[in-house]
Chain A
Amino acid sequence: MKTFNIGGVHPHDNKLNTEAPVKELPIPQQVCVMVSQHLGAPSQPIVKKGDKVKVGTVLTQNDAFLGAVVHSPVSGTVNKIADIPDASNYPKPAIFIDVEGDEWEESIDRSPDIKREIELDAPAIIQKVKEMGIVGMGGACFPTHVKLMPPKDAKAEFLLLNGVECEPYLTCDYRLMLDHAEEILIGASILMKALGVPQAIVGIEANKPKAIEHMSEVAKSFPGISVQALKMKYPQGAEKQLIKALTGRAVPSGKLPINVGCVVDNVATCYAVYQAVQKNMPLIQRTVTVTGPSIKEPTNFLARFGTPVSAFLEAVGGVPEDTGKVISGGPMMGKSIMSAEATSVKGMSGILVLPEKQAHRNNIYPCIRCGKCVDACPMGLEPYLIASATAAKDFDKTEKARVMDCIECGCCQFTCPSNRSLLDNVKLGKATVGKIIRARNAK
């Protein structure tokens, strides 16, 4: 079975209650829609207090190339525009909407039929994807239309669908592949048409045999799309590792997937593209896994954006007594949040509740130079060296140790027997070296 070639770790996958169907989360009384939910230039709100909005009404504008707009996930009245903390724990502007009923824009096709024929041509598809605010839903929130416009000197050859879901605990993509395989693959066909590529490969890890089976079955009726089972190994869902696993190509340092002819999109993104292009439906909701060892019934919820974390937690029976940490995303790369005020956004794939026992960092021992971090690094770096150089503020050395290649997957820190804060140091080094490089380039 295929996988990427160097490094990687095997965390326990902890996929809990995977067979339970996706539940629709009731729309809360008030939603707080973050103004910027993508990677790139921030958006500006175009609604003001007192405005009436419907589901699908455009709330923000963004003229930047690397920009994405946000649509109203509910119908109601804009209450205010104010700052609330997001998953980064920093206050960011959000649009508060008081919910009244559930009235949708007329242009949205809400019928349950699946529409296979793709009527739009490539430029129209890209325009549609941009208008509907589609961003990468794996977590990075990179605006999808940008990926569909490769630079002149690069040619896309493969579309790779990321159904790996290598993060422990998360099951939202798995459920989506079981419930909406056909839509995902139509979405993939749309992206293939937009990119002009003949071939698409869906990568799914071996711990999801049902999804592999179902997707392969459905893919038979889609020419050019194949499903590839992958050996379980974290971080297979990382872009570079997935490309390596599926095509054998390696994205060189500092280059993008398109430089080796690949475009990678999450299966959830494909589903969103399907809905945007075929159903005219903007990105207003997503599947969110609410899970954790202490949660009685871990569930996948279909929830509108702007729903506070507290509403998700109440839906699974409230915050357990012994909760020590709440994470937006998975346990390997997710962000721990300070309060349940934060609301769901396009990139929030899961809410993981860890009990007190698992919430803390372990005691740190001296580095015993075992080299396990070196073996685990999927980029072939030496995390111990980067970390120690950063701690010594020797940023020249940090840079020479190729810190900028780090994908921040956390394998080094996961595997370190001395429980050292390797990734913390590496990230600090990466941020500092990034600044140094930018300052140097500016000269």
Chain B
Amino acid sequence: MNETIINSIWLLAALGLVLALILYFVAQKFKVEEDPRIDLVADALPGANCGACGKAGCRDMAVQIVKDPAYTGCPVCNEENVARIAEILGRVPEKKDPMIAVVRCKGGKVNTEAKAHYEGLQSCSYAAGVMPAEGGCPFGCLGFGDCTAVCAFDALHINPQTGLPEADPEKCTACGACAKACPRGIIEIRKRRDEDGRVYVGCMNKQKGVYSAKVCKVSCIGCGKCVKTCPQNAITLENNLAYVNDALCISCQACVDACPTHAMTIMPLDKKKAKAEPEAAPQTI
């Protein structure tokens, strides 16, 4: 009995020693020299593996950043991340405007009247092949959430009241996954302008004004008033649809006040100047 116990102890000890030695030599033999900064940079990245940079994941991105000093970097990093990475690598932190996903449709359940009831696969990409939006707008948001499904940061959610997606400014990193997922290209990545407010056209309808007004209360009818009021010449009108050039806009809100259909939008809403609309018109985002 004793002998059995002792024998097994010896055996296991010897086995452990031999295997440990093998492991040690193999580890030495196949050792991979790696820049220790890669791990540090990878830690400093957001770590969501969102794929916005086009790399296989955050670590892959870290390898790229460390290797290539000219590499512009992670599109979703906030200032803090950028500063940490710059510190690790001893580079000057790159300055960039904070961005956010902007939903350029305000139709949804409130401002358009559903003309049909859709049943079937709850996917915008599929439903777009069967119908325009339930309200009839061929350019509007379908509301089945292809964009929210791809958001790696839990920042985009369909508002049950309006049936439209809304980006949570706290969480949105402007990775652009939602913009790619939207079959209608409604979502755009624009500058945040949290202080002054971001101004954009909340409509994608390229139909003539008569038709777009028929399907949606807040559609851009292509009247061109915004173009005329803009002091920066930042607004262009093409195919009956206005577009605000993000680079030129100074958030003066002249166009927001001029827009007869409230398609021109400013976000966050509280940045809206009180004088512009003493009695807030019924408007939803």
Contact = CB atoms under 8 A, between A and B. Distances in A.
A and B are partners in one complex rather than unrelated chains: yes
Interface of A: 83, 85, 89-91, 335-336, 338-339, 360-361, 421, 424-425, 427-428, 431-432
Contacts of B120: 361, 421, 424
Given A338-B116, A338-B131, A424 B136 contact: no
A428 B126 CA distance: 5
Given A83-B207, A89-B131, A338-B131, A424 B126 contact: yes
Given A89-B132, A361-B120, A427 B126 contact: yes
Nearest to B115: A338
Interface of B: 115-116, 119-121, 123, 125-126, 129-132, 136, 138, 207, 211
Given A90-B132, A91-B138, A339 B115 contact: yes
A91 B207 CA distance: 9
A360 B119 contact: yes
A85 B131 CA distance: 10
Contact of A335 (B119, B130, B132): B130
Nearest to A91: B138
B219 to A, nearest CB: 14
B129 A431 contact: yes
Contacts of B130: 89, 335-336
A421 B120 CA distance: 6
Contacts of B207: 83, 91
22 contacts: A85-B132, A85-B136, A89-B116, A89-B130, A89-B131, A90-B132, A90-B138, A91-B138, A338-B115, A338-B131, A338-B136, A339-B116, A361-B119, A361-B120, A424-B120, A424-B123, A425-B126, A427-B126, A427-B129, A428-B126, A428-B129, A431-B126
Contacts of A85: 132, 136
A435 to B, nearest CB: 10
Contacts of A361: 119-120
A335 B136 CA distance: 16
Given A83-B207, A90-B132, A338-B115, A421 B138 contact: no
A361 B122 CA distance: 13
B126 to A, nearest CB: 4
B182 to A, nearest CB: 14
Contacts of B211: 83, 91
Contacts of A339: 115-116
A227 to B, nearest CB: 37
Contacts of A427: 126, 129
A360 B118 CA distance: 9
B119 to A, nearest CB: 5
Contacts, number: 45
A392 to B, nearest CB: 12
B123 A428 contact: yes
Ordered nearest first, which 10 A-B pairs have the shortest CB separation?
Answer: A424-B121, A428-B126, A338-B116, A421-B121, A89-B131, A361-B119, A424-B120, A90-B138, A424-B126, A421-B120
A30 B63 CA distance: 67
A338 B211 CA distance: 16
A268 B207 CA distance: 36
B116 to A, nearest CB: 4
Given A361-B120, A424-B121, A424-B126, 5 more contacts: A85-B136, A89-B131, A338-B115, A428-B121, A428-B123
Contacts of B119: 360-361
Contact of A431 (B125, B131, B132): B125
In the complex, which of the residues A91, A338, A361, A421 has the most CB atoms of chain B within 10 Å of its own CB atom?
A338
Nearest to B150: A393
A425 B121 contact: yes
B279 to A, nearest CB: 35
Contacts of A338: 115-116, 131-132, 136
A360 B117 CA distance: 10
B125 A428 contact: yes
A203 B27 CA distance: 72
A11 to B, nearest CB: 18
B273 to A, nearest CB: 37
A356 B130 CA distance: 19
A432 B126 CA distance: 10
Q: Which of B120, B121, B129, B138 has the most CB of A within 10 A?
A: B121
A421 B131 CA distance: 17
| Most chain A CB within a 10 A radius of its CB, from B120, B125, B126 | B126
Nearest to B138: A90
A427 B115 CA distance: 24
Contacts of B129: 427-428, 431
Contacts of B138: 90-91
A366 to B, nearest CB: 16
A361 B120 CA distance: 7
Contacts of A431: 125-126, 129
A431 B136 CA distance: 23
A141 to B, nearest CB: 17
Nearest to B215: A91
A343 B219 CA distance: 26
Contacts of B132: 85, 89-91, 338
B65 to A, nearest CB: 27
Contacts of A83: 207, 211
Contacts of B123: 424, 428
A90 B211 CA distance: 12
B54 to A, nearest CB: 15
B142 to A, nearest CB: 12
A336 B134 CA distance: 13
Nearest to A420: B121
A90 B132 CA distance: 6
A178 B131 CA distance: 36
B239 to A, nearest CB: 13
A427 B132 CA distance: 17
A436 to B, nearest CB: 13
A429 to B, nearest CB: 10
Contacts of A360: 119
Nearest to B183: A431
A195 to B, nearest CB: 34
Contacts of B136: 85, 338
B45 to A, nearest CB: 23
A432 B129 CA distance: 12
Contacts of A335: 130
Contacts of B131: 89, 338
B215 to A, nearest CB: 10
A258 B81 CA distance: 61
Contacts of B116: 89, 338-339
A432 B121 contact: no
